Structure 1
Amino acid sequence: MNNFIESNLNNFKTNLTNIATKYKRNIDEITIIAVSKYQDCNKINSAYSSGQINFGENYIQEWQEKVKFFQNSLPNLKWHLIGNLQKNKAKYLTDKVFCLQSLDSIDLAKEIEKKGKFEQKLKVLIQLQIDKNDQNKSGITIEQAKLLRDYIWKSSKISFAGFMGIGPLDIEINKRKELYYSFIDNAYNLWKETNSINTQPILSLGMSSDYETAIECGSNMLRIGTAIFGERNKN
Protein backbone atom coordinates (compact mmCIF):
# COMPACT_ATOMS: atom_id res chain seq x y z
CA MET A 1 0.00 0.00 0.00
CA ASN A 2 2.71 2.45 1.02
CA ASN A 3 4.64 1.87 -2.24
CA PHE A 4 1.49 2.44 -4.31
CA ILE A 5 0.69 5.77 -2.61
CA GLU A 6 4.33 6.90 -2.57
CA SER A 7 4.66 6.11 -6.28
CA ASN A 8 1.47 8.01 -7.10
CA LEU A 9 2.59 11.03 -5.08
CA ASN A 10 6.04 11.08 -6.65
CA ASN A 11 4.60 10.74 -10.15
CA PHE A 12 2.10 13.50 -9.49
CA LYS A 13 4.74 15.85 -8.08
CA THR A 14 7.02 15.21 -11.05
CA ASN A 15 4.19 15.98 -13.46
CA LEU A 16 3.20 19.05 -11.45
CA THR A 17 6.79 20.34 -11.52
CA ASN A 18 6.84 19.99 -15.32
CA ILE A 19 3.52 21.80 -15.61
CA ALA A 20 4.66 24.58 -13.30
CA THR A 21 7.80 25.03 -15.41
CA LYS A 22 5.71 25.07 -18.59
CA TYR A 23 3.58 27.94 -17.30
CA LYS A 24 6.43 29.72 -15.49
CA ARG A 25 4.96 29.06 -12.06
CA ASN A 26 6.95 28.62 -8.84
CA ILE A 27 6.36 25.03 -7.73
CA ASP A 28 7.10 25.98 -4.12
CA GLU A 29 4.04 28.24 -4.12
CA ILE A 30 1.62 25.45 -5.09
CA THR A 31 0.11 23.38 -2.26
CA ILE A 32 -1.32 19.89 -2.74
CA ILE A 33 -4.37 18.86 -0.72
CA ALA A 34 -4.78 15.07 -0.76
CA VAL A 35 -8.55 14.52 -0.92
CA SER A 36 -9.09 11.59 1.41
CA LYS A 37 -12.89 11.41 1.25
CA TYR A 38 -13.97 7.73 1.29
CA GLN A 39 -10.32 6.68 1.64
CA ASP A 40 -9.37 4.44 4.55
CA CYS A 41 -6.97 5.51 7.27
CA ASN A 42 -4.21 3.19 6.08
CA LYS A 43 -4.03 5.13 2.81
CA ILE A 44 -3.91 8.43 4.68
CA ASN A 45 -1.11 7.08 6.85
CA SER A 46 0.79 5.94 3.75
CA ALA A 47 0.44 9.36 2.12
CA TYR A 48 1.58 11.07 5.33
CA SER A 49 4.59 8.75 5.57
CA SER A 50 5.42 9.77 1.99
CA GLY A 51 5.55 13.44 2.92
CA GLN A 52 1.95 14.58 2.40
CA ILE A 53 0.61 16.70 5.29
CA ASN A 54 -2.51 18.44 3.89
CA PHE A 55 -5.66 16.32 3.61
CA GLY A 56 -9.17 17.24 2.48
CA GLU A 57 -12.41 15.79 3.81
CA ASN A 58 -15.98 16.46 2.66
CA TYR A 59 -18.12 15.18 5.48
CA ILE A 60 -18.04 16.12 9.15
CA GLN A 61 -18.83 12.64 10.47
CA GLU A 62 -16.16 10.93 8.37
CA TRP A 63 -13.64 13.63 9.33
CA GLN A 64 -14.45 13.18 13.05
CA GLU A 65 -13.89 9.43 12.78
CA LYS A 66 -10.51 9.96 11.15
CA VAL A 67 -9.46 12.56 13.72
CA LYS A 68 -10.36 10.09 16.46
CA PHE A 69 -8.50 7.25 14.71
CA PHE A 70 -5.25 9.19 14.40
CA GLN A 71 -5.52 11.15 17.65
CA ASN A 72 -2.01 12.60 18.02
CA SER A 73 -0.16 10.01 15.94
CA LEU A 74 0.34 12.30 12.91
CA PRO A 75 1.36 15.57 14.59
CA ASN A 76 1.88 17.68 11.45
CA LEU A 77 -1.27 16.60 9.62
CA LYS A 78 -3.51 19.48 8.50
CA TRP A 79 -7.21 18.80 7.89
CA HIS A 80 -9.06 20.88 5.30
CA LEU A 81 -12.86 20.65 5.09
CA ILE A 82 -13.72 21.03 1.41
CA GLY A 83 -17.33 19.88 1.19
CA ASN A 84 -20.53 21.82 1.67
CA LEU A 85 -21.07 22.42 5.40
CA GLN A 86 -24.62 22.62 6.71
CA LYS A 87 -25.26 25.25 9.36
CA ASN A 88 -26.30 22.68 11.95
CA LYS A 89 -22.83 21.08 11.65
CA ALA A 90 -20.96 24.27 12.57
CA LYS A 91 -21.01 23.26 16.23
CA TYR A 92 -18.66 20.35 15.43
CA LEU A 93 -15.84 22.56 14.14
CA THR A 94 -12.78 22.59 16.40
CA ASP A 95 -9.11 23.49 16.26
CA LYS A 96 -8.55 20.15 14.51
CA VAL A 97 -9.73 21.91 11.33
CA PHE A 98 -6.79 23.68 9.73
CA CYS A 99 -8.95 25.33 7.05
CA LEU A 100 -12.61 25.40 6.02
CA GLN A 101 -12.49 25.84 2.24
CA SER A 102 -16.21 25.91 1.51
CA LEU A 103 -17.61 28.94 3.34
CA ASP A 104 -20.45 30.08 1.12
CA SER A 105 -22.85 32.21 3.17
CA ILE A 106 -23.04 34.83 5.90
CA ASP A 107 -25.56 32.62 7.72
CA LEU A 108 -22.98 29.83 7.96
CA ALA A 109 -20.31 32.30 9.06
CA LYS A 110 -22.62 33.57 11.81
CA GLU A 111 -23.30 30.01 12.97
CA ILE A 112 -19.55 29.33 13.13
CA GLU A 113 -19.10 32.56 15.06
CA LYS A 114 -21.77 31.47 17.50
CA LYS A 115 -20.97 27.77 17.97
CA GLY A 116 -17.44 27.02 16.75
CA LYS A 117 -15.03 25.80 19.44
CA PHE A 118 -11.61 27.29 18.71
CA GLU A 119 -8.56 28.31 20.66
CA GLN A 120 -7.56 30.46 17.71
CA LYS A 121 -9.30 31.79 14.62
CA LEU A 122 -10.48 29.29 12.01
CA LYS A 123 -8.85 29.85 8.62
CA VAL A 124 -11.54 29.99 5.90
CA LEU A 125 -11.80 30.29 2.14
CA ILE A 126 -14.82 31.86 0.46
CA GLN A 127 -16.24 29.47 -2.12
CA LEU A 128 -16.91 31.53 -5.23
CA GLN A 129 -19.37 30.52 -7.91
CA ILE A 130 -17.42 29.69 -11.08
CA ASP A 131 -20.21 29.07 -13.57
CA LYS A 132 -23.68 30.45 -12.88
CA ASN A 133 -25.09 27.89 -15.32
CA ASP A 134 -23.64 24.92 -13.44
CA GLN A 135 -26.45 23.81 -11.14
CA ASN A 136 -24.39 21.00 -9.59
CA LYS A 137 -21.89 23.21 -7.77
CA SER A 138 -22.33 25.57 -4.84
CA GLY A 139 -20.58 28.86 -4.29
CA ILE A 140 -21.64 32.47 -3.98
CA THR A 141 -21.76 35.38 -6.38
CA ILE A 142 -19.30 38.26 -6.34
CA GLU A 143 -21.88 40.54 -4.73
CA GLN A 144 -22.57 38.05 -1.94
CA ALA A 145 -18.84 37.38 -1.55
CA LYS A 146 -18.19 41.07 -0.85
CA LEU A 147 -20.68 41.02 2.01
CA LEU A 148 -19.27 37.75 3.37
CA ARG A 149 -15.71 39.04 3.11
CA ASP A 150 -16.61 42.17 5.07
CA TYR A 151 -18.34 40.08 7.74
CA ILE A 152 -15.27 37.83 8.11
CA TRP A 153 -12.99 40.81 8.65
CA LYS A 154 -15.06 41.78 11.68
CA SER A 155 -15.29 38.23 13.02
CA SER A 156 -13.61 37.17 16.26
CA LYS A 157 -13.47 33.48 15.26
CA ILE A 158 -12.83 33.41 11.50
CA SER A 159 -9.70 34.35 9.55
CA PHE A 160 -10.03 35.15 5.84
CA ALA A 161 -7.34 33.33 3.81
CA GLY A 162 -8.56 33.24 0.20
CA PHE A 163 -10.96 31.55 -2.20
CA MET A 164 -12.05 28.13 -3.40
CA GLY A 165 -13.76 27.11 -6.62
CA ILE A 166 -15.13 23.93 -8.19
CA GLY A 167 -15.23 23.84 -11.98
CA PRO A 168 -17.93 22.22 -14.14
CA LEU A 169 -17.54 18.50 -14.79
CA ASP A 170 -17.93 18.51 -18.57
CA ILE A 171 -16.96 21.60 -20.50
CA GLU A 172 -14.86 22.50 -23.54
CA ILE A 173 -11.27 23.32 -22.58
CA ASN A 174 -11.27 26.93 -23.82
CA LYS A 175 -14.49 27.65 -21.95
CA ARG A 176 -12.97 26.11 -18.82
CA LYS A 177 -9.95 28.39 -19.16
CA GLU A 178 -12.21 31.39 -19.59
CA LEU A 179 -14.12 30.51 -16.40
CA TYR A 180 -10.95 29.82 -14.42
CA TYR A 181 -9.23 33.03 -15.47
CA SER A 182 -12.40 34.89 -14.48
CA PHE A 183 -12.42 33.15 -11.09
CA ILE A 184 -8.80 34.15 -10.46
CA ASP A 185 -9.42 37.77 -11.52
CA ASN A 186 -12.51 38.04 -9.34
CA ALA A 187 -10.66 36.51 -6.38
CA TYR A 188 -7.77 38.97 -6.65
CA ASN A 189 -10.12 41.93 -7.01
CA LEU A 190 -12.02 40.90 -3.88
CA TRP A 191 -8.74 40.35 -2.02
CA LYS A 192 -7.19 43.68 -3.02
CA GLU A 193 -10.19 45.55 -1.62
CA THR A 194 -9.22 44.31 1.83
CA ASN A 195 -6.29 45.46 3.94
CA SER A 196 -4.38 42.27 3.04
CA ILE A 197 -3.12 43.90 -0.12
CA ASN A 198 0.52 42.99 0.62
CA THR A 199 -0.18 39.27 1.02
CA GLN A 200 -1.25 36.62 -1.47
CA PRO A 201 -4.60 34.85 -1.14
CA ILE A 202 -5.00 31.09 -1.26
CA LEU A 203 -6.60 30.19 -4.60
CA SER A 204 -7.87 26.62 -4.24
CA LEU A 205 -8.79 25.54 -7.76
CA GLY A 206 -8.15 22.34 -9.66
CA MET A 207 -8.60 18.60 -9.11
CA SER A 208 -7.19 15.41 -10.63
CA SER A 209 -9.06 15.98 -13.90
CA ASP A 210 -8.29 19.67 -14.49
CA TYR A 211 -5.26 20.71 -12.45
CA GLU A 212 -3.08 21.65 -15.43
CA THR A 213 -5.68 24.18 -16.57
CA ALA A 214 -6.00 25.45 -13.01
CA ILE A 215 -2.22 25.95 -12.74
CA GLU A 216 -2.13 27.70 -16.10
CA CYS A 217 -4.83 30.10 -14.93
CA GLY A 218 -3.20 30.91 -11.58
CA SER A 219 -4.28 28.40 -8.91
CA ASN A 220 -1.89 27.94 -5.99
CA MET A 221 -3.70 25.08 -4.24
CA LEU A 222 -4.88 21.80 -5.79
CA ARG A 223 -7.36 19.29 -4.35
CA ILE A 224 -6.14 15.91 -5.61
CA GLY A 225 -7.84 12.61 -4.82
CA THR A 226 -7.79 9.91 -7.50
CA ALA A 227 -4.30 10.74 -8.78
CA ILE A 228 -2.93 10.03 -5.29
CA PHE A 229 -5.20 7.40 -3.76
CA GLY A 230 -6.73 5.68 -6.77
CA GLU A 231 -10.48 5.12 -7.04
CA ARG A 232 -12.57 5.85 -3.95
CA ASN A 233 -14.16 3.19 -1.81
CA LYS A 234 -17.72 4.47 -1.34
CA ASN A 235 -18.62 1.73 1.08
Structure 2
Amino acid sequence: MPQLMATAVEANPDGTAIVYADATETLGRLSYEELDERSTQLARLLIARGVGPEDLVAVGIPRSVDAVIAVWAVAKSGAGFVPVDPHYPAERVADMVADSGVVFGLTIAAVRDELPGRIDWLAIDTAEYARESAEFPVDPVTYVDRVRPLRAEHPAYVIYTSGSTGKPKGVVVTQTGLAGFCAEQRERYGVTSASRTLHFASPSFDASVLELLLALGGS
Protein backbone atom coordinates (compact mmCIF):
# COMPACT_ATOMS: atom_id res chain seq x y z
CA MET A 1 0.00 0.00 0.00
CA PRO A 2 2.76 2.55 0.73
CA GLN A 3 4.13 1.99 -2.77
CA LEU A 4 0.72 2.59 -4.33
CA MET A 5 0.47 5.85 -2.41
CA ALA A 6 3.95 6.96 -3.44
CA THR A 7 3.18 6.21 -7.08
CA ALA A 8 -0.01 8.27 -6.92
CA VAL A 9 1.87 11.26 -5.48
CA GLU A 10 4.69 11.01 -8.03
CA ALA A 11 2.21 10.79 -10.91
CA ASN A 12 0.11 13.81 -9.92
CA PRO A 13 1.58 15.83 -7.02
CA ASP A 14 -0.43 18.98 -7.75
CA GLY A 15 -3.62 17.10 -8.57
CA THR A 16 -6.63 17.10 -6.27
CA ALA A 17 -6.52 14.16 -3.85
CA ILE A 18 -9.54 15.07 -1.68
CA VAL A 19 -12.50 17.40 -2.06
CA TYR A 20 -14.32 17.98 1.22
CA ALA A 21 -16.78 20.29 2.94
CA ASP A 22 -15.59 22.06 6.09
CA ALA A 23 -17.68 23.03 9.11
CA THR A 24 -19.21 25.94 7.19
CA GLU A 25 -20.04 23.68 4.20
CA THR A 26 -17.37 25.45 2.16
CA LEU A 27 -15.59 23.15 -0.27
CA GLY A 28 -11.92 22.60 0.37
CA ARG A 29 -9.28 20.70 -1.58
CA LEU A 30 -6.14 18.83 -0.65
CA SER A 31 -3.52 18.02 -3.28
CA TYR A 32 -1.67 14.72 -3.41
CA GLU A 33 1.48 16.50 -2.30
CA GLU A 34 -0.29 18.05 0.70
CA LEU A 35 -1.87 14.72 1.63
CA ASP A 36 1.51 13.05 1.29
CA GLU A 37 3.27 15.52 3.55
CA ARG A 38 0.62 15.55 6.27
CA SER A 39 0.36 11.77 6.36
CA THR A 40 4.15 11.41 6.35
CA GLN A 41 4.48 13.50 9.49
CA LEU A 42 1.87 11.37 11.23
CA ALA A 43 3.56 8.19 9.97
CA ARG A 44 6.87 9.36 11.41
CA LEU A 45 5.17 10.09 14.72
CA LEU A 46 3.77 6.54 14.76
CA ILE A 47 7.20 5.11 13.96
CA ALA A 48 8.72 7.18 16.76
CA ARG A 49 6.25 5.49 19.11
CA GLY A 50 7.40 2.06 17.96
CA VAL A 51 4.56 1.30 15.54
CA GLY A 52 5.47 -0.67 12.44
CA PRO A 53 4.94 -3.75 10.26
CA GLU A 54 2.90 -6.55 11.86
CA ASP A 55 1.31 -4.05 14.27
CA LEU A 56 -2.32 -2.96 13.97
CA VAL A 57 -3.57 0.58 14.56
CA ALA A 58 -7.23 1.46 15.12
CA VAL A 59 -8.59 4.37 13.07
CA GLY A 60 -11.63 5.64 14.95
CA ILE A 61 -12.49 8.60 12.76
CA PRO A 62 -15.72 9.34 10.82
CA ARG A 63 -15.44 9.89 7.04
CA SER A 64 -13.31 12.99 6.66
CA VAL A 65 -9.96 14.35 5.52
CA ASP A 66 -8.52 13.27 8.87
CA ALA A 67 -9.64 9.68 8.24
CA VAL A 68 -7.83 9.54 4.89
CA ILE A 69 -4.69 11.11 6.38
CA ALA A 70 -4.76 8.55 9.21
CA VAL A 71 -5.09 5.58 6.84
CA TRP A 72 -2.25 6.86 4.66
CA ALA A 73 -0.07 7.43 7.73
CA VAL A 74 -0.63 3.96 9.18
CA ALA A 75 0.14 2.40 5.80
CA LYS A 76 3.35 4.39 5.47
CA SER A 77 4.50 3.26 8.91
CA GLY A 78 4.13 -0.30 7.65
CA ALA A 79 1.42 -1.18 10.16
CA GLY A 80 -2.05 -2.39 9.27
CA PHE A 81 -5.13 -0.32 10.07
CA VAL A 82 -8.36 -1.41 11.69
CA PRO A 83 -11.16 0.99 10.68
CA VAL A 84 -13.53 1.54 13.59
CA ASP A 85 -16.74 3.48 13.03
CA PRO A 86 -17.07 5.54 16.23
CA HIS A 87 -20.83 5.67 15.70
CA TYR A 88 -21.15 1.91 16.11
CA PRO A 89 -22.52 0.66 19.45
CA ALA A 90 -19.91 1.05 22.19
CA GLU A 91 -19.93 -2.68 22.96
CA ARG A 92 -19.12 -3.59 19.37
CA VAL A 93 -16.33 -1.01 19.14
CA ALA A 94 -14.80 -2.25 22.39
CA ASP A 95 -14.93 -5.83 21.13
CA MET A 96 -13.25 -4.92 17.83
CA VAL A 97 -10.47 -3.08 19.63
CA ALA A 98 -9.89 -5.93 22.09
CA ASP A 99 -10.18 -8.76 19.57
CA SER A 100 -7.90 -7.21 16.94
CA GLY A 101 -5.07 -6.55 19.37
CA VAL A 102 -4.42 -3.03 18.10
CA VAL A 103 -1.45 -1.35 19.74
CA PHE A 104 -2.55 2.25 19.24
CA GLY A 105 -5.48 4.33 18.03
CA LEU A 106 -6.00 7.46 15.93
CA THR A 107 -9.11 9.57 16.35
CA ILE A 108 -10.43 13.15 16.54
CA ALA A 109 -11.37 15.17 19.60
CA ALA A 110 -15.14 15.10 18.92
CA VAL A 111 -15.41 11.32 19.32
CA ARG A 112 -12.49 10.53 21.62
CA ASP A 113 -14.71 10.01 24.68
CA GLU A 114 -16.88 7.52 22.76
CA LEU A 115 -13.98 5.12 22.22
CA PRO A 116 -12.76 2.40 24.61
CA GLY A 117 -9.92 3.27 26.94
CA ARG A 118 -7.94 0.03 26.76
CA ILE A 119 -5.46 1.60 24.30
CA ASP A 120 -3.95 5.06 23.86
CA TRP A 121 -5.82 7.25 21.36
CA LEU A 122 -4.21 10.20 19.60
CA ALA A 123 -6.58 12.95 18.44
CA ILE A 124 -5.04 14.28 15.22
CA ASP A 125 -7.14 17.44 14.98
CA THR A 126 -5.86 19.20 18.11
CA ALA A 127 -3.38 22.03 18.55
CA GLU A 128 -1.21 19.73 20.67
CA TYR A 129 -0.96 17.21 17.84
CA ALA A 130 -0.21 19.97 15.31
CA ARG A 131 2.75 21.11 17.42
CA GLU A 132 4.06 17.58 17.89
CA SER A 133 3.70 16.51 14.26
CA ALA A 134 5.35 19.70 12.99
CA GLU A 135 8.60 18.47 14.51
CA PHE A 136 8.79 15.61 12.01
CA PRO A 137 10.12 16.03 8.46
CA VAL A 138 8.00 15.47 5.35
CA ASP A 139 10.67 13.45 3.54
CA PRO A 140 9.21 10.18 2.21
CA VAL A 141 9.26 7.29 4.67
CA THR A 142 11.59 4.54 3.44
CA TYR A 143 12.38 1.01 4.58
CA VAL A 144 15.26 2.28 6.71
CA ASP A 145 12.87 4.48 8.72
CA ARG A 146 10.50 1.70 9.75
CA VAL A 147 10.97 -0.25 12.97
CA ARG A 148 10.89 -3.55 11.02
CA PRO A 149 11.01 -4.57 7.34
CA LEU A 150 7.65 -4.49 5.56
CA ARG A 151 6.80 -7.65 3.63
CA ALA A 152 4.00 -8.59 1.22
CA GLU A 153 2.54 -11.08 3.70
CA HIS A 154 2.10 -8.46 6.43
CA PRO A 155 -1.40 -7.10 7.20
CA ALA A 156 -2.51 -4.03 5.28
CA TYR A 157 -5.82 -3.77 7.15
CA VAL A 158 -8.36 -5.76 9.12
CA ILE A 159 -12.10 -5.56 8.42
CA TYR A 160 -14.74 -7.02 10.73
CA THR A 161 -17.71 -8.94 9.35
CA SER A 162 -21.24 -7.75 10.06
CA GLY A 163 -21.90 -10.50 12.60
CA SER A 164 -25.20 -11.39 10.94
CA THR A 165 -24.35 -15.09 11.27
CA GLY A 166 -22.73 -14.87 14.69
CA LYS A 167 -20.01 -12.89 16.42
CA PRO A 168 -18.20 -10.47 14.07
CA LYS A 169 -14.84 -11.80 12.92
CA GLY A 170 -11.78 -9.88 11.83
CA VAL A 171 -10.63 -10.59 8.28
CA VAL A 172 -6.96 -9.83 7.68
CA VAL A 173 -6.10 -8.46 4.23
CA THR A 174 -2.38 -8.60 3.46
CA GLN A 175 -0.29 -6.28 1.31
CA THR A 176 -0.21 -8.99 -1.38
CA GLY A 177 -2.55 -8.33 -4.27
CA LEU A 178 -3.38 -4.67 -3.57
CA ALA A 179 -1.54 -3.44 -6.68
CA GLY A 180 -3.39 -5.98 -8.82
CA PHE A 181 -6.70 -4.96 -7.31
CA CYS A 182 -6.01 -1.28 -8.03
CA ALA A 183 -5.15 -2.12 -11.63
CA GLU A 184 -8.33 -4.17 -12.00
CA GLN A 185 -10.51 -1.35 -10.66
CA ARG A 186 -8.78 1.17 -12.91
CA GLU A 187 -9.45 -0.96 -15.99
CA ARG A 188 -12.96 -2.08 -15.02
CA TYR A 189 -14.29 1.38 -14.11
CA GLY A 190 -12.19 3.42 -16.51
CA VAL A 191 -10.91 5.82 -13.84
CA THR A 192 -8.34 8.47 -14.75
CA SER A 193 -6.78 11.47 -13.01
CA ALA A 194 -9.87 13.44 -14.10
CA SER A 195 -12.26 11.04 -12.36
CA ARG A 196 -13.83 11.55 -8.94
CA THR A 197 -14.72 8.72 -6.57
CA LEU A 198 -17.25 9.12 -3.77
CA HIS A 199 -16.20 8.10 -0.27
CA PHE A 200 -19.56 7.09 1.19
CA ALA A 201 -19.21 3.75 2.99
CA SER A 202 -18.94 3.35 6.75
CA PRO A 203 -15.28 3.20 7.83
CA SER A 204 -15.92 -0.28 9.21
CA PHE A 205 -17.26 -1.61 5.89
CA ASP A 206 -14.76 -3.13 3.45
CA ALA A 207 -16.11 -0.97 0.61
CA SER A 208 -14.58 2.07 2.33
CA VAL A 209 -11.11 0.70 1.59
CA LEU A 210 -12.06 -0.16 -1.98
CA GLU A 211 -13.13 3.47 -2.50
CA LEU A 212 -9.74 4.73 -1.34
CA LEU A 213 -7.94 2.23 -3.55
CA LEU A 214 -10.12 3.26 -6.50
CA ALA A 215 -9.03 6.87 -6.04
CA LEU A 216 -5.38 5.79 -5.81
CA GLY A 217 -5.67 3.77 -8.99
CA GLY A 218 -6.99 6.73 -10.94
CA SER A 219 -4.61 9.42 -9.66
TM-score by length of 1: 0.26
TM-score by length of 2: 0.28
**Who wins on radius of gyration, i.e. which is larger?**
1
More helix by share: 1
